[in-house]
Structure 1
Amino acid sequence: MALPLSYPGLKCVLENLEAVKRVHIVGRSPGLRKIDKLIPLCLKYFYIMSNDMAINKLYITCDRDEVNFKMNRKIFIRQRVETQEDKMKKLINFFTCGRSIIHVGSLNWNKSSLPNFLPVGMKFRVNSLAAPPWQFDTANPFVDPRSFPLKTMVTIPHTSTFDSHMVTTAATLTLLSCFSVTITLEELKKLNNKRVEFERIRFSKIDIIPLIKYQIETKEATGTTFVVTTDEKLFINEKIREFEQAFGEYRSDLDDVNERFLPGSSRFSIPINNESRIQVYAIEDPEEDGRWKIFIKPVSDILGL
């Protein structure tokens, strides 16, 4: 007969069990609940709106008289007569088991009404956060201070975006823009991120060239790598032409860069000071369905990187 697991063994199993499976197993075993509450709950992905939520690969939608669960192409429906708010509160309580700290790899926060659903004092310890600027003040109290600086922040350009510590201190910042905006030189100067990625910015203006000229004038490199991503090759060609007009004298083969350059596109090595320069080049990324990217990357002349 198999011997029962010791507490350290059971703790190890529960801690490494996929979160949704773990919650369902523990929910059916009163003996496990006491132990489970002592073990951190780690979610890879958590998304919540006013009437739906996603936990890892489980998607839950609260309709008027029912709750729909969808996972691995299977759909389960449960009839419920409570209000949507009550249903959401019960779901959150069921999956979090009253914990005050929830570890989340990626938290997607989109609604100011979310605090109505969340238990008082709950905190999310997150690696990555996605939220629009007008939700920063609402989301911030629910993010454990030990999460900062974030590994990744995903948001959209807005007048308040560049004044938020969540944005400017994240290791990687992703800015999405589905409409025409201008990201000014002064806004770019506020960013202290190691990497800033611009996506869906086909109709937007980004003052990258003025930023490089500013660095040349001040002889101060920011140390931030900028990446412009698009699925429009014409957009990439247009941006490369702008670099040709501004920095044509600094064209370079960049033989020391191990990348699959976009064939026929110009590449640049722009000196900032005696210790650093900025490399500019375009690539086609096979890992992202052939999307095109422009890299504006600071490198050290001293280290030869």
Structure 2
Amino acid sequence: MPPPLSYPALKLVLEYLEAKKRYHITSRNSALQKIDKIIPLHVRDLEIWSDCVYVDNLSYATGFQHLFSSWETDEELQELLKIHEAKEELVKKYLEARPNILVNCVGFYYVKSYKQVPVKLNLITNTLVTIGCSNFSNLLPIIDSRSCPLKKLKLFQDRLIYVDHPVVNTTEDVIFQFDGENELIKGIEKLHRKKLSIHNVGYENVDAVKIIKDWIKNGREIGTEYLLSFSFDFWMRRMLRDLKNEFDEFENDLEGINVRFLDREPRFLIPMSPTSKIIIYGTEIQSKNGTVYQLVLKVVSTDE
């Protein structure tokens, strides 16, 4: 009989074992259960809904109670439901017993607050994604402060949001995608990020004039670049018209910049400081989903 694994070896095996396998193995061994709680749980993807949580291929779900009443005359089915609910509770206890879970990517789906999450979790993550969650800051109590600064933040919104938040300002890579055509992203002009991408922009989602005015007034670091991507060139052309109405005196052909500019649309060069200037132009790029029209707002050195 081979000798048992030493604690360091056992720790290494358990720590990087996929969540479902680890749960099934440790739940059948009382000795492993004692050390399992102190060994970090590594997860690739964790999805959170208001009635369920998916931890890679391990899941916990609620909402079975209504089935009891509809099947109350079938004793066999009712017994199966009770067994299933008991198993779900064991998964919940297992996840809640972790002091923290190390996750590559946490996704929240249509959850309005961390209080709606059916499992009490403490997550350390690299990437945070929210879809239809209105105010992402209401979800942050679940995210351990050791996660910050995040490597990536992706906010997919369908209604008004206010984005001037420390997490947005400190995250390495931030992407907004806004599905409400006429809803404004508030606070974007106050951000002091070097890079920002906004996808599926509609005409009234972003106030580009307000962004540029704040850059002129308060300055931005050289290399700051905001990329506003539009599915329809009509929206971008309207935004360029607004910029022209406000900054007409700074219209410039931007000669010497190696970019394929959008034909017959205005481009701008706006002084910001003795050492920096703002360039603005529209371009057309090809993505995996087809043609995208992109408005570029960028701070460059006056030497360029």
Task: Using structure 1 for the length normalisation, give the TM-score.
Answer: 0.70
User: 2:55 — aligned with what?
Assistant: 55
Distance in 1 of aligned mates of 2:233 and 2:21: 43
Q: For 1:44, what is the secondary structure of its paired residue?
A: strand
Q: For residue 181 of structure 1, what is the aligned residue in structure 2?
A: 183
The superposition leaves residues 4-62 of structure 1 with CA deviations (integer Å, 9 ceiling, x where unpaired) of 65443443333333334443444455554344333211223222223222223666654
Aligned equivalents of 1:105, 1:14: Cα separation in 2? 17
User: Per the alignment, in what secondary structure is the counterpart of residue 198 of structure 2?
Assistant: strand
CA offsets per residue over residues 234-261 of structure 1, 9 Å max, x none? 334444455556456223255456xxx4
Aligned to 2:252: 250
2:199–2:230 CA contact under 8 A, matched in 1: yes
| Structure 1 CA distance for aligned equivalents of residues 22 and 283 of structure 2 | 44
- Cα deviations by residue, 1:128-162 (Å, 9 ceiling, x for unpaired): 3345354634x333321222333333444877724
| Largest Rg, 1 or 2 | 2
Change (3 A) 1:59 1:178: farther
Answering whether residue 277 of structure 2 is matched by residue 277 of structure 1, we say yes
Distance 1:233 1:22 in 2: 50
Match of 2:301 in 1: 300
Q: Partners in 2 of 1:279 and 1:27 — Cα distance? A: 60
Aligned to 1:69: none
Q: State the match for 1:107 in structure 2.
A: 106
Question: Aligned AA for 2:173?
Answer: T
Tell me if 1:124 matches 2:123: yes
Are the structure 2 counterparts of residues 291 and 249 from structure 1 closer, same or farther at C-alpha, using a change threshold of 3 Å?
closer
Specify whether residues 255 and 16 from structure 1 end up closer, same or farther in structure 2 by C-alpha distance, changes over 3 A only.
Answer: farther
Q: How many Å apart are 1:101 and its aligned residue? A: 1.1
* SS of equivalent to 2:44: strand
Q: Secondary structure at the match of 1:206?
A: coil
Quick one: distance in 2 between partners of 1:116 and 1:89?
Answer: 15
Once residues 136 and 30 of structure 2 are traced to their aligned partners in structure 1, the CA distance between those partners, rounded to angstroms, is 38
Query: Which residue does 1:64 correspond to in 2?
Result: 64
* Paired-residue identity, %: 25
Matches of 2:92 and 2:290 in 1, distance apart?
Answer: 36
Closer/same/farther in 2, CA of residues 82 and 18 from structure 1, 3 Å limit: closer
2:33 aligned partner: 33
Residue segments in structure 1 that go unaligned for 5+ positions in a row:
67-77
- Matching residue's letter, 2:144: D
5 Å-filtered alignment, 1:86-165, equals 90-94=90-94, 96=95, 98-109=97-108, 110-112=111-113, 114=115, 117-119=118-120, 122-131=121-130, 132-134=133-135, 136-137=137-138, 139-155=139-155, 156=157, 161-162=162-163, 164-165=165-166
TM-score (norm 2): 0.70
In structure 1, what residue type is equivalent to 2:184? T
Q: Deviations along 1:88-132, whole A, 9 cap, x unmatched?
A: 6543333x261111122332341437467334xx42222233453
Q: Which residue of structure 2 lines up, in the alignment, with residue 225 of structure 1?
A: 225
Deviations 1:55-82 (A, max 9, x none): 236666545368xxxxxxxxxxx94338
Contact 1:283 1:293 in 2 (8 A): yes
Q: CA RMSD in A?
A: 3.9
**Alpha carbons of structure 1 residues 49 and 212: separation in structure 2 relative to 1, 3 Å:** same
Unaligned runs of 5+ in 2: 68-78
In the alignment, which residue of structure 2 is the partner of 1:18?
Answer: 18
When the two structures are aligned, how many residues end up with a matched partner?
A: 281
Give the 3-state SS of the residue equivalent to 2:47 in structure 1: strand
Q: 1:182 to 1:34 in 2, by over 3 A?
A: same
